[in-house]
Amino acid sequence: MDERIQLLDTDITMLAVDAIVNAANNSLLGGGGVDGAIHRSAGPGLLEECRQLHGCPTGDARITKGYDLPARYVIHSVGPVWQGGRAGEEELLADCYRSCFRLAAEHGLQTLAFPAISTGVYGFPKKKAAAIAVRQTRRALATNSSLERVIFVCFNRETREAYAEALGQRE
């Protein structure tokens, strides 16, 4: 399974994949971090389509077109804000990945790129988040043979190290 998983140090908005995942907020109307970068690169069409969606609950995901991005689609998923770990945050983050993979399967997507959802402003510990991302991705790859490649975008060194550890690699 892991041969279909790739770590990439890049800006997710540069990737010409079937879909990039956005770490969105409940409004789906844009924000900072990766969300801001995606909206800036996609152009105003993305915000217009997002307005029609009327938000998204935490743990769930919505799909839109990619507009000016090289990616065909954007999957907007809303991660939990880390509150210390006793508010169901780990399960909610797993729900995010499951929701994204469900949409990927429904749309027959073959290549998918994720940012480290919730690990920026939302404060989720990077190692815990990487372990959840890897576990759900391995499950999805085991059941969805159309899914050719899942990319984890590492925007900083701690994120890369967290994924490498979760994948059982040593760097």
- Of 35, 60, 89, 95, which one interacts with ligand ADP (CB under 6 A)? 35
How far, CA to CA in Å, does 39 sit from each of 22, 90, 119, 146? 10, 27, 19, 28
What would the x/- binding string for ligand ADP be over residues 111 to 150, using CB under 6 A? ----xxxxxxxx----------------------------
How far, CA to CA in Å, does 147 sit from each of 3, 20, 36? 12, 14, 27
Does 66 engage in binding with ligand ADP (CB under 6 A)?
A: no
Does 153 engage in binding with ligand ADP (CB under 6 A)?
A: yes
Does 79 engage in binding with ligand ADP (CB under 6 A)?
A: yes
Report how far residue 26's alpha carbon sits from residue 161's, in angstroms, rounded to the nearest whole number: 29
Residue among 125, 150, 124 nearest 136 (CA)? 150
Catalytic residue among 9, 18, 35, 60: 35
Does 37 engage in binding with ligand ADP (CB under 6 A)?
A: yes
Q: Which residues pair with 91 in a beta bridge?
A: none
What is the token pair recorded at 23?
A: 């770490």
Does 23 engage in binding with ligand ADP (CB under 6 A)?
A: yes
- Of 17, 19, 34, 56, which one interacts with ligand ADP (CB under 6 A)? 34
Q: Do residues 76 and 22 lie in contact, with contact meaning Cβ atoms separated by under 8 Å?
A: yes
Is 35 marked active-site? yes
What is the token pair recorded at 139?
A: 């499950």
Residue among 103, 52, 56, 53 nearest 75 (CA)? 103
Does 152 engage in binding with ligand ADP (CB under 6 A)?
A: no
Does 169 engage in binding with ligand ADP (CB under 6 A)?
A: no
By the criterion CB under 6 A, which residues form the site for ligand ADP? Answer: 11-13, 23, 33-35, 37, 79, 115-122, 153, 155-156, 159
Catalytic positions, written as ranges: 35
